[in-house]
Structure 1
Amino acid sequence: MLKTLLNQLLMVAFLWLISCNQPQSPSVTSTTLDSNTNRLMQAISIVDENIAWISGHRATFIQTTDGGMSWKAYGYDQIDSLQFRDIHAFDDKNAVLMSAGPGSMSRILLVNLDSGFTETYVMPHEEGFLNTIEFWDDQNGLAFGDSFNGELFVLKTTDGGTNWDRIDPSLLPPAGKGEGGFAASGTCISTRPGGKAWIGTGAGGNARVLYTEDYGDSWNESQVPIITGDAAGIASINMATDLVGVIAGGDLAISDQYTDNVAITQDGGKNWTLTSQPQTKGAFYGSDVIPWKDGYFLISSGPKGIDYSFDLGKTFSNLDTLNYWAVNMHEAGFGYAAGTEGKVIKLEIVDY
């Protein structure tokens, strides 16, 4: 009997040693921050480990220069009803703001925290509606808006946002009826070095990815398995590399069910494959994906919460169940999520 007990103890010790040597999966922690605002915040731009900007409604944006420990709030008093649904920051002083809305409510502004605001684009078309902006570098960028008159609407800047010109619609595929984007998280466009860019579309029964590899001089398209509908499609697209990326969205009218709303590409956006079912129901408004260790970290946010995955969507874990419109990650393994009532949290990947 003593021998049997000894063998059992040795087996327990052996299994314990094995479990200690087995690498544990990474996880994500979140820390609630004091954003210094109660506005709906819905676009995030991270400059580095210390500097980040977040924009939102009532012409409000906030900035941190100490890694999220403290935030300062700013506003555009000339038109305090603007909805700053996207922002691209260059450094701790300079950023480009985009407001969304019908006609002239869609605007692009340069902001310098020392000298103030400069409006550089006001939508001249009553049917127009801007959704997002994105930059390759400090000079070259794109803006994407809803289509009208059967033509897609894409703007381009080559001088840091001072001037914007519409890309000739004949260079783009014809627009689907009611096709546009969702000005939900400022992530309808993803850019990569060398002139590569991807645009995710939706609405009106449309959902596809538009792709350029020459700074918008020519475009291709790919179909996606995301749910379509009047208020459905791609709300967010992000590329971790030239080949690997994610699209997320869903049907904004379906908040209590699962739909086909997250897909990945591993060939540069030519083909897209649905992930497994996320933990969170309803639509996702924001997403991001970054290389992490020997794989990738994928995260999506929406009115019902935040899900993340370390295996490109084969499995998902839930991080939060509150309403977050936007999420943005830095390649160093940290990021921010923002949403209703000024909610801002800091995310950090933890490796065990």
Structure 2
Amino acid sequence: MKYFTALTSLLLLTHCSTRQLEPSIKPLNSPTESLLQAISIVDENTTWISGHDATFVLTKDGGESWELFNHPTGDSLQFRDIHGFNNEKAVLMTAGSGPLSKIFTFTTPDQWEENFVMQDSLGFLDCIDFWDDQRGIAYGDAIDNYPYILLTDNGGKSWNRADSTNMPEAGKDEGGFAASGTCVTTGENGKAWIATGAGGNCRFLITEDYGQSWKEVDSPLVSGDAAGNTSVSFVGDLGVVTGGDLMITDDYTDNCAFSSDGGTTWNLSGQPQTVGAFYGSAITQVDGQTFAFACGPKGLDYTSDMGQTWMTLDTLNYWALSMKEDFGFASGTNGKILRISLQP
């Protein structure tokens, strides 16, 4: 009897400790109508989101309220990516041809430092990320037959192009899609993944030593002049890549794949419910359960079984996604901000 009671208690405890989670969404009040296309979650309270019209926003209370910021020179800048260090400081990247591609450091309430300006007229920055508060990476369209990779080791104050000696050559017209701020993502112990596309190219550039050397891995997603990988996200060795053909808006293409070995191999997922290309991706693990999300102009989908089946969360136009354990955000056109929560 004592054994039976103890066993029953153990089974109940095990059952209660395994929460079956489902995502829920909540539209938030946004202080802008500008396109918001890059998200940086610092912690459960602090998140930065950047976008067009020289605009970016900051929450310090988990999305309940947002502060609006603009660059003082006007609304011509497009903040295609952002990385927040805390609730006072962030690095912002603008995209555009030549000198329109820039990197800034911003400190509240209104302190700006211009840290990098693209000098090559053919240059175009696509995204940035950081390993820690000092070491960071930026990626842009290929120049001089090699991938364009910038590195910083002082928190973004200065940037230098990575040595091309230890990286594969670039494909013709290869680059990234500056749509979601997630064509490059960093991981633990110096790992980083770059998702490339355009010009018929579609592959990954992978480093395990903070960008000092690189290897290439093929991607199974569709390739083409305006196709390929758009976004890559990892949690540990589990990764998701999204993309597609940006010219095909009302049909399905091979636009999502998963990796379980740190990006060495990739397998196409089942067909999502949302049509068209995906711009953003995110992947997270909570209580041993894995959830991946993909968003684009036609909507927001999620999977809880590594892409075997998909469900639609929303059908509005979203460009960017970010998840941190059991919560995250999506953002898009008309200043939309959506909070995503994983709940029992």
Q: Tell me if both proteins adopt one fold, taking TM over 0.5 as the criterion.
A: yes
- Structure 1 unaligned segments of length 5 or more: list them: 1-20
Return the offset for 1:80: 2.4
Task: Select the residue among 284, 288, 292 that pairs with 2:286.
Answer: 292
Determine the C-alpha separation between the residues in 2 that align with 1:328 and 1:118.
26
Return the offset for 1:148: 2.4
**What's the counterpart of residue 249 of structure 1?**
243
Find out whether 1:335 has 2:328 as its counterpart.
yes
Return the offset for 1:170: 2.5
C-alpha RMSD of the superposition: 1.4
3-state DSSP of counterpart to 2:56:
strand
Determine the C-alpha separation between the residues in 2 that align with 1:36 and 1:284.
25
Determine the C-alpha separation between the residues in 2 that align with 1:288 and 1:148.
29
3-state DSSP of counterpart to 1:86:
strand
Return the offset for 1:115: 5.1
**What's the counterpart of residue 133 of structure 1?**
128
Runs of 4+ in 1 over 2 A off after TM superposition: 23-26
Determine the C-alpha separation between the residues in 2 that align with 1:342 and 1:115.
21
Return the offset for 1:293: 1.8
Greater Cα offset, 268-277 or 164-173: 164-173
**What's the counterpart of residue 299 of structure 2?**
305
**What's the counterpart of residue 11 of structure 2?**
none
Which residues of 2 match residues 57-206 of structure 1 at below 5 A? 57-114=52-109, 116-206=111-201
Letter in 2 for 1:267: D
Return the offset for 1:300: 0.6
Percent identity between the aligned chains?
51
Determine the C-alpha separation between the residues in 1 that align with 2:252 and 2:29.
32
Determine the C-alpha separation between the residues in 2 that align with 1:114 and 1:257.
45
Determine the C-alpha separation between the residues in 2 that align with 1:79 and 1:201.
31
3-state DSSP of counterpart to 1:276:
coil
Determine the C-alpha separation between the residues in 2 that align with 1:313 and 1:320.
17
Determine the C-alpha separation between the residues in 2 that align with 1:291 and 1:31.
20
Determine the C-alpha separation between the residues in 2 that align with 1:281 and 1:28.
20
- Structure 2 unaligned segments of length 5 or more: list them: 1-15
Determine the C-alpha separation between the residues in 2 that align with 1:35 and 1:48.
19
For normalisation by structure 2, the TM-score amounts to 0.93
Letter in 1 for 2:187: R
Find out whether 1:212 has 2:238 as its counterpart.
no
**What's the counterpart of residue 258 of structure 2?**
264
Return the offset for 1:29: 1.0
**What's the counterpart of residue 21 of structure 2?**
26
Return the offset for 1:79: 4.3
Return the offset for 1:337: 0.5
**What's the counterpart of residue 314 of structure 1?**
308
Determine the C-alpha separation between the residues in 2 that align with 1:111 and 1:306.
30
Determine the C-alpha separation between the residues in 1 that align with 2:225 and 2:36.
25
Determine the C-alpha separation between the residues in 2 that align with 1:80 and 1:155.
26
Determine the C-alpha separation between the residues in 2 that align with 1:267 and 1:42.
29
Q: Number of residues paired by the alignment?
A: 329
Determine the C-alpha separation between the residues in 2 that align with 1:29 and 1:105.
38
Determine the C-alpha separation between the residues in 2 that align with 1:348 and 1:338.
14
Return the offset for 1:346: 0.6
Determine the C-alpha separation between the residues in 2 that align with 1:63 and 1:136.
21
Determine the C-alpha separation between the residues in 1 that align with 2:307 and 2:109.
43
**What's the counterpart of residue 7 of structure 2?**
none
Letter in 2 for 1:204: G
Determine the C-alpha separation between the residues in 2 that align with 1:79 and 1:97.
15
Determine the C-alpha separation between the residues in 1 that align with 2:266 and 2:40.
26
3-state DSSP of counterpart to 2:73:
helix
Cα-to-partner distance string for 1:281-334 (whole Å, 9 max, x where unaligned): 000000010112223110011000000011111111100000000011111x11
Determine the C-alpha separation between the residues in 2 that align with 1:266 and 1:336.
24
Return the offset for 1:94: 0.2
